[in-house]
Amino acid sequence: MLNVALPKGRLGMKVYDMLAAIGYECPEILEDNRKLIFENTENGVRYFLVKPSDVAIYVEKGAADIGVVGKDILLEQEPDLYELLDLGFGKCRMCVAAPDDYREDPDRPVKVATKFVHIARHYYESKNREIEIIKLSGSIEIAPLVGLSDVIVDIVETGTTLKENNLRVWEEIVPISARLIANKASSKFKAEEIYKIASKLKEGRS
Ligand code: PRP
């Protein structure tokens, strides 16, 4: 049985379609229900639909053999697993953003609101810039608008959220896209199957 962790939502369904096309169908997953585990014993596949930020944990711990996750999660969590392939979709950018009229005060630490604490620390350390982190769980864009932070470190996809909140990209940290990941032990014991999947997905990459 091949266990696959997919992020719940549009990205996960896109990956499911790609896997179904190469022999890992499990049609029940397309039904509108609240189930989270789907199994097809005939072709030996089991899908878990998990929160996007939890995919890497399932794969690292071996509950899933493979999974699909955003590079942002890999950079933030640094899980112990193999990153097999850049799938070329789910593209966005990790950025520092700030209000249109922001001016940095070099005499004090930058107040940074983010979900991505590790990425933010790492980025500012590389610039030798002191920061104060304010960890939030979502709607990060509000923080600089209400004086909670100077800037944010967050994902920018279309830029609409920034624009509609009078923020702009200040610095780009790293481009992000979806990655195929594999558990280290599974990569040995199910090597043939996993690498076949990786090469098939590579062919169908956008
Ligand atoms: C992400 C990100 C931005 C938004 C960017 O939020 O945190 O808020 O998408 O997309 P855009 O550039 O296309 O506007 P998400 O929807 O993941 O929710 P969140 O508030 O929980 O971070």
Residue 205 has what pLDDT? 72
CA of 64 to the centre of ligand 1 (A): 27
Q: Indicate whether 204 pLDDT > 90.
A: no
pTM value is 0.94
Pocket test for ligand 1, best of 155, 158, 164 (most atoms within 8 A of CB): 155
- What is the average pLDDT value for the chain, to the nearest integer? 96
Grouping H, G, I as helix, E, B as strand and the rest as coil, residue 105 is coil
Question: What pLDDT score was predicted for residue 85?
Answer: 97
What pLDDT, on the 0 to 100 scale, is given for residue 206?
57
Q: Whose CA is nearest to atom 2 of ligand 1?
A: 155
Of 62-71, 85-94, 105-114, 197-206, which range is least confident? 197-206
As a whole number of angstroms, the distance between CA 119 and CA 53 comes to 14
**Looking up tokens 């249109």, which residue turns up?**
100
- 141-169 b/e (C-beta count within 10 Å ≥ 16 → b): bebbeeeebbbbbbebeeeebbeebebbe
**Mutation choice for ligand 1 from 91, 96, 156, CB with most ligand atoms inside 8 A:** 156
Rounded Cα distance between 147 and 186, Å, is 47
Percent of the chain whose predicted confidence (pLDDT) is above 90: 95
Report whether pLDDT(138) > 60: yes
Sign of the dihedral defined by the CA atoms of residues 47, 176, 74, 52, in that order: negative
Atom of ligand 1 nearest to the CA of 157: 12
Summarize pLDDT for 140-198 with one digit per residue, the tens.
999 999 999 999 999 999 999 999 999 999 999 999 999 999 999 999 999 999 999 99
Distance from Cα 101 to the centre of ligand 1, integer Å: 22
**Interval between CA 16 and ligand 1 midpoint (Å):** 23
Q: Given a cut of 70, is residue 126 above it in pLDDT?
A: yes
Residue 121's pLDDT is what? 98
| pLDDT, tens only, 32-64 | 789 999 999 999 999 999 999 999 999 999 999
173 burial via Cβ count (<10 Å: 0-12, 13-18, 19+): buried
| Contact in structure between 194 and 113 (CB atoms under 8 Å) | no
- The residues lining ligand 1, judged by C-beta closer than 6 Å to any ligand atom, are 138-141, 154-161
**Model confidence at 123: pLDDT above 90:** yes
